[in-house]
Amino acid sequence: MRISDIREATASISSNIRNAYVDFSQMTVSVIAVESDVVRHGRPVTGYGFCSNGRYAQGGILRERLMPRLRAAAPEALLNDAGDNFDPRKIRTIMLTNEKPGGHGDRAVAAAAVDMAVWDLMAKLAEQPLWRFLSENHNGGGYDERVLVYPGGGYYHPGKGLKDLQDEVRGYLDQGYKAVKIKIGAATMAEDLARIEAVMDVTGDGGDLAVDANGRFDLATALAYGKAMQPFDLFWFEEPGDPLDFALNAELAAHYPGAIATGENLFSLQDARNLMRHGGMRPDRDWIQLDPALCYGLTEYLDVIDMVEGMGWSRRRIVPHGGHQLGLAMTAGLQLGGSESYPGVFQPFGGFADDIEIADGMARPGEHIGIGMEAKATLFAEIQSLVGV
Amino acid sequence: MRISDIREATASISSNIRNAYVDFSQMTVSVIAVESDVVRHGRPVTGYGFCSNGRYAQGGILRERLMPRLRAAAPEALLNDAGDNFDPRKIRTIMLTNEKPGGHGDRAVAAAAVDMAVWDLMAKLAEQPLWRFLSENHNGGGYDERVLVYPGGGYYHPGKGLKDLQDEVRGYLDQGYKAVKIKIGAATMAEDLARIEAVMDVTGDGGDLAVDANGRFDLATALAYGKAMQPFDLFWFEEPGDPLDFALNAELAAHYPGAIATGENLFSLQDARNLMRHGGMRPDRDWIQLDPALCYGLTEYLDVIDMVEGMGWSRRRIVPHGGHQLGLAMTAGLQLGGSESYPGVFQPFGGFADDIEIADGMARPGEHIGIGMEAKATLFAEIQSLVGV
């Protein structure tokens, strides 16, 4: 068994939305196909992957560093000891040979796209949905039949008013979602508080509403928002300050009694460990949100879960960012706390398979083999057009 | 005044050396030319830059993200308020528009290459050596006539023995260097201690010998090396553990009385601040080594210096990594503690101008306009062949 081909391409996910930090008018992602020499139904079994939104395609790093190393590796060096499937840790080690420690950014994003394709391929070779493959091989057989999901929405658009925001949220509730998330930080605090109150008129209270500042606030602003939002008892206050300002996070946690969620812009085990060590995060209420499609992949994420549990936390406090099928599969198969969802944005890469139904704010993972990208028609058409044979 | 062209290319700096983490057989760097519409001596005034070694060329990020944003900017948006030169902060902001916070890795390396070219261009437009331009504009006129420099050497080569290592170090002393640095961590501790003792036979004692583990050690190994090396009273013990394991660094600092140096693999103000906050660094003896050609450039470095001084440290504790002409110029013009030097490796990008003499372990910055790449013949020939008109 060997990898017979690796292909990469860049896809556009441009849109006119913006958060407190960036607009997405030029946003791209990398798409990967890892093809094996195992043939089923007349076709080579192939895994597909992509990087998550927000960090752009990584074609340069993929073509110049990561993919050549995998192509140059001896085929058996990529297999597990039994020789009946691939070994994601060996693949990661080879892909990152001669890469210095530290500096976990674009490289982690590039590696995550390949890693997603490797796990899709492994589950397909085992003829299992990824969530079941993870459950059996990495979670002692445990899995969740239903997973908490929430739409990452409430972006700023030019001309979008409170009524439009309410309509958007009503749409999510109509689709079966219960908890929702909106952006804050790209308007004045008064305007943002009005946005929050407008959405609470739809959700009923703050317990099903998370707000996301996308790392925009300095300490004084984060504390001011925290004080103003405290009465709402929100689901969580996400990424209040710079993702690497652990001291700011700790200071906010000392003053804001509500839940804090952060981590989507931490791209390694080492960075996540620093958040846990220095960020003042509280194991009884706060949430960790690393994105497996940005931080070297699910392979690194397994080490992150071990690290989090090793510090006395429950893995239920982990809610992967990204709103993609990988997040849903790993949340179910590894029994994490929940998964973001993108029913409306970052299409076709955001969101779950076409037949996944949301009810009471929960999703059931499907029985599609692998990650299930073939069961999301627009996504699979895009993937086939970009990295199909 | 405007930028009339920006060009980039990839240069190979492959060699058969290795440190404790990577070999350099496939190493590349990005080279940049930023050409202005100001014509002198019949040619457009042009700044040149490159990224430092160890992190590979960044052509993808440069071509797809950073350079298009600069090309699309209004010319006057890149100028200082007087309109008589460029503004590196405005250029940085535009270059990094729609880039999310956190994840400071390859992107920081790409930006640093552009930033170096921008400072070279600015000093050339002012018809000054960069060190003097920095002194007058960012250091109240202060500068150092002589700068402490040390060769980053003592790499592992296949077949290189203790005698060869001693000969290498003797060569540095013959060139006028006093302090030297060798690698540790890619051999057994007994072998590394023998390497250290062999070099001390040449340098006379440990005070002029720094050792560099390149982030290889876990805590137990770092402590064991620290205990074994303590009697040598070394110049410093560099990058003992993973560059982001601030807790390891703090624990070593609590046990190892000698100096610790680290920071070459921290690529942002935020990461450097976390080292200062959480790394247990001691202002009376330890050294901070961020590399301006890796961490978004000299522009970001000015903020790092402010941050370091704001925490009560002297800027003399800062010794830029990289062994390039930018490091020498900024150490002289901003009065930092010293600069690495690469007289023998990473050619032609390592090392200083051809006429820079080293005596008593100190270098005098030259009077070459700009950074002075034109005064390093092999470097300028390479630059001209790659990004010349």
- Give the pLDDT confidence of A21-60 residue by residue, as tens digits: 788 889 999 999 999 999 999 999 999 999 999 999 999 9
User: Is pLDDT of B16 > 90?
Assistant: no
pLDDT at A63: 98
Nearest chain B residue to A18, by CA:
B98
CA distance B109 to A22: 21
Fold of A3-127: Enolase-like; domain 1 (3.30.390)
CA distance B85 to B122: 6
Indicate which of A17, A24, A104 best probes the interface with B, i.e. most B CBs within 10 Å of its own CB. A104
| Residues in B touching A271 (Cβ below 8 Å) | 102, 244
What are the residues whose beta carbons fall under 8 Å from the beta carbon of A160, sequence distance 6 or more? none
Q: What pTM, to 2 d.p., does this model score?
A: 0.97
Domains B3-127 and B137-387 share a fold: no
- Active-site residue, from A104, A124, A183, A376: A183
Place of tokens 């503690």: B337
Taking the alpha carbons at both ends of chain B, their separation in whole angstroms is 19
Nearest chain A residue to B275, by CA:
A274
Per-residue model confidence as pLDDT tens digits over A99-146: 999 999 999 999 999 999 999 999 999 999 999 999 999 999 999 999
What are the residues whose beta carbons fall under 8 Å from the beta carbon of A176, sequence distance 6 or more? A357, A358, A359, A360, A361
CB atoms B245 and A270 under 8 Å: yes
* Element (DSSP H or E) covering residue B118: helix B106-125
CB atoms A100 and B64 under 8 Å: no
The order of strands in the sheet holding A28-40 is A3-12, A28-40, A43-50
Q: How far is CA B347 from CA A196, B201, B343, in A?
A: 58, 28, 8
Per-residue model confidence as pLDDT tens digits over B27-65: 999 999 999 999 999 999 999 999 999 999 999 999 999
What are the residues whose beta carbons fall under 8 Å from the beta carbon of A327, sequence distance 6 or more? A291, A292, A293, A320, A321, A339, A340
Per DSSP, the residues of B17-33 read -B-SS-B-TT-EEEEEE
pLDDT at A344: 79
Give the total residue count for chain B.
Answer: 389
| Residues in B touching A222 (Cβ below 8 Å) | none
Nearest chain A residue to B270, by CA:
A244
Nearest residue, CB atoms, B60 vs list A22, A61, A271: A61
Per DSSP, the residues of A116-140 read HHHHHHHHHHTTSBHHHHHHHHHST
pLDDT at A19: 79
CA distance A19 to A107: 24
CA distance A262 to B195: 45
> What amino acid is encoded at A87 in this protein?
D
Q: Pick B333 or A346 by higher pLDDT.
A: B333
- Contact by Cβ (8 Å): A238, A289: yes
Distance, in angstroms, between B115 CA and closest chain A CA?
Answer: 18
Domain A137-374 homologous superfamily, CATH: Enolase-like C-terminal domain (3.20.20.120)
| A321 belongs to the catalytic site | yes
User: Is pLDDT of A16 > 80?
Assistant: no
CB atoms A57 and B64 under 8 Å: yes
User: Is pLDDT of A231 > 80?
Assistant: yes
pLDDT at B56: 97
CA distance B33 to B201: 45
Residue spans of the domains in chain A: they are 3-127, 137-374
- Contact by Cβ (8 Å): A166, A135: no
CA distance A319 to A376: 22
- Which ipTM was obtained for this model? 0.96
pLDDT at B345: 84
User: Is pLDDT of B275 > 80?
Assistant: yes
Pick the CATH number of B137-387 from 3.40.190.10, 3.40.50.11540, 3.20.20.120, 1.10.3720.10: 3.20.20.120
| Residues in A touching B273 (Cβ below 8 Å) | 245
Distance, in angstroms, between B15 CA and closest chain A CA?
Answer: 13
CB atoms A105 and B61 under 8 Å: no
| Residues in A touching B295 (Cβ below 8 Å) | none
| Residues in B touching A25 (Cβ below 8 Å) | 98
User: Is pLDDT of B329 > 80?
Assistant: yes
CB atoms B106 and A106 under 8 Å: yes
Per-residue model confidence as pLDDT tens digits over B203-222: 999 999 999 999 999 999 99
pLDDT at B344: 79
Per-residue model confidence as pLDDT tens digits over A313-372: 999 999 999 999 999 999 999 999 999 999 878 889 999 999 999 999 999 999 999 999
